Amino acid sequence: MLTVDVEKLLGTFTLAVHFAAAGGATALFGPSGSGKTSLVNMIAGLLTPDRGAITLDDIVLFDAAKNIDVPPHRRRIGYVFQEGRLFPHLSVRQNLDYGRRMNRRPRDSKKFERIAALLDIGHLLDRRPGMLSGGERQRIAIGRALLTEPRLLLLDEPLASLDAGHKREILPYLVRLRDEAKIPMVYVSHTPAEVRLIATGVVRLEDGHVAASGGLELIKDADADLFV
Amino acid sequence: MFNLSPDEWTAVELSLRIAVVATACALPFGIAIGWLLARKDFWGKTVLDGLVFLPLVLPPVVTGYLLLISFGRRGPIGQFLYEYFGIVLSFRWTGAALSCGVMGFPLLVRPVRLAFEAIDRRLEDAAATLGANAMLVFLTVTLPLALPGVIVGVVLCFARALGEFGATITFVSNIPGETQTISAAIYTLTQVPGGDAAAGRLVLIAIALAFAALVASEWLSRRAAIRFHGG
């Protein structure tokens, strides 16, 4: 269970958001500039709210009143960025292994193989990120985040930088991820079709505020199918 | 042609030793200051920036003189080093390494700083979300990504140290076997009758060393670039 109740002044824009997300995949849905990315950055610990609190499964990650601010590297929250952000100086295998090495955990080849199979990336392990297609890069980024055994997975428009073909390539993996990995997900998107496929709950953001939250019935623009 | 006399070999060996030690000692400071200048805003940053680059624009003899009055046996720092650590720099090869390091320092810091400034900091955020603390982020992401710039800085600093003359001769003089580098030896040989042949040999060696340093840096940078962009 993730609860977020934060306020942050960003230039002239005020972000004031309150929501809770249980298991499954919660979509943060809204137009560009509604504060979605700033919000996930605050959950990850990359951006500090001015006021409020963030808790995950009874663990306080941030509480302005109590002066608690767990640094990002201790939050155990996986983050898949819009542009992948793979380390260009490391091979795919080293990218995937990065979290395990930083957390000094023993090698677990079974888990590694399971996730490599889930995302179908076994044949890419010895390549450099520079040699991958956009879709392959995003699959590696998802695998890299999953292998840190996160308590929560944040996905910030993971398909935004991909063309329609590559979007279609990634979507089934995201659905599989939701159903098989059993890690709660917060999925940022402004694309209704994407949200309808992946999300189990929806938080709709507008101008830095929660306009509505609930189920998939909040996604109405049935005509805006970007995958055609 | 390359039948160097023992004295000339000593000068070559000494030059290389001084340049290697100067560059190796300057490197950690160069990385730290390059990082500070690229990433941090602090009181006195402009002053630090100016101090680092001063040896590049000052007449070398001025830098050498400043080193002499501060690191000489009776200078404040020199006295401290001698009394507490028994270290003497003036008129020793270690002093030559200090002056060469100071003269090469701006050439080291500049590319290092530019390399740190060019790094996509979002990669550092990504490393943090994967569990890396600040130190590990620096060691596993920031520094490796800055490596091409660090290599360029090291080669420039090394080349500068190898050829340094003015500051070194002012600070530690020109003592054969102790502080007489290739440059100082060439200078001495041009001052005595019949020294032309020996000076010519050392000049060729100086050209060869400088050229080798350039080729090495080109090769290293290219290798680093291949590592980054696949190949």
For residue range B7-45, what is the model confidence (pLDDT) as tens digits?
888 999 999 999 999 999 999 999 999 999 999 999 999
Q: Which residue of B has its CA nearest to A88?
A: B228
Contact partners, residue B154, CB within 8 Å, separation at least 6: B23, B27, B108
What pLDDT is stored for residue B213 in this prediction? 85
Q: How many CB pairs under 8 A join A and B?
A: 75
Q: Is B225 on the interface with A (CB under 8 A)?
A: no
Average pLDDT over residues B152-177: 92
**Residue B229 predicted with pLDDT over 70:** no
What pLDDT is stored for residue A228 in this prediction? 38
Asked if residues B104 and B161 have their Cβ atoms less than 8 Å apart, the reply is yes
Asked if residues A176 and A118 have their Cβ atoms less than 8 Å apart, the reply is yes
Q: Is B143 on the interface with A (CB under 8 A)?
A: no
What pLDDT is stored for residue B225 in this prediction? 72
Residue A102 lies in a domain: no
A29 — phi, psi (to 5°)?
A: -115, 135
| Shortest Cα–Cα distance, A43 to chain B (Å) | 11
Average pLDDT over residues B165-194: 92
What pLDDT is stored for residue B231 in this prediction? 40
pLDDT digits (tens, 9 = 90+) for B39-57: 999 999 999 999 999 999 9
The closest of B92, B62, B58 to B78, measured between CA atoms, is B92
What pLDDT is stored for residue B1 in this prediction? 54
Query: What percent of chain B lies above the pLDDT cut of 90?
Result: 74
Interface test with B, best of A61, A128, A136 (most B CBs within 10 A): A128
The 10 Å Cβ neighbour count of residue B164 is 29
What pLDDT is stored for residue A227 in this prediction? 47
pLDDT digits (tens, 9 = 90+) for B159-170: 999 989 999 999
pTM above 0.90, yes or no: no
Asked if residues A80 and A155 have their Cβ atoms less than 8 Å apart, the reply is yes
Residue A80 lies in a domain: yes
What pLDDT is stored for residue B2 in this prediction? 62
Question: Can you tell me the distance from the alpha carbon of B176 to that of B202, in angstroms, rounded to the nearest whole number?
Answer: 14
Write the burial class of residue A23 (CB in 10 Å: 0-12 exposed, 13-18 middle, 19+ buried).
middle
What pLDDT is stored for residue A194 in this prediction? 87
Asked if residues A44 and A188 have their Cβ atoms less than 8 Å apart, the reply is no
3-state DSSP assignment of residue A152: strand
Tens-digit pLDDT profile for chain A (228 aa)? Answer: 899 999 999 888 899 999 998 888 999 998 888 889 999 999 999 999 999 999 999 899 999 999 999 999 999 999 999 988 999 999 999 999 999 999 989 988 998 998 898 888 999 999 999 889 888 999 999 999 999 989 999 999 988 878 887 788 788 888 888 888 788 999 999 888 888 888 999 999 998 889 888 888 777 755 455 443
Q: Which residue of A has its CA nearest to B224?
A: A89
- Give counts: helices (H), strands (E), chain B: 11, 0
The 10 Å Cβ neighbour count of residue A208 is 21
CATH of the domain at A79: 3.40.50.300
Q: Which residue of A has its CA nearest to B123?
A: A85
What pLDDT is stored for residue A72 in this prediction? 95
Domain count, chain A: 1
Average pLDDT over residues B131-155: 93
- Cβ distance of B229 and A130 shorter than 8 Å: yes
Each domain of chain B, given as residue ranges in start order, spans: 7-225
Domain extent, residue A45, equals 2-86+152-172+182-218
What pLDDT is stored for residue B219 in this prediction? 87
Q: Is B204 on the interface with A (CB under 8 A)?
A: no
Q: Choose the closest CB to A148 out of B130, B229, B231.
A: B130
What pLDDT is stored for residue A161 in this prediction? 79
Tokens of A142: 């998802």
Q: Is A51 left (phi over 0), alpha (psi -120 to 50) or beta?
A: beta
- Cβ distance of A102 and B127 shorter than 8 Å: yes
Question: Could you name the CATH architecture of B7-225?
Answer: Orthogonal Bundle (1.10)
What pLDDT is stored for residue B50 in this prediction? 94
pLDDT digits (tens, 9 = 90+) for B69-90: 999 888 899 999 988 988 889 8
The closest of A76, A7, A1 to A39, measured between CA atoms, is A7
What pLDDT is stored for residue A221 in this prediction? 58
Q: What is the mean pLDDT of chain B?
A: 91
What pLDDT is stored for residue B17 in this prediction? 95
Residue A114 lies in a domain: no
Interface test with B, best of A43, A46, A147, A156 (most B CBs within 10 A): A46
Please name the residue that has the structure tokens 């100082």: B184
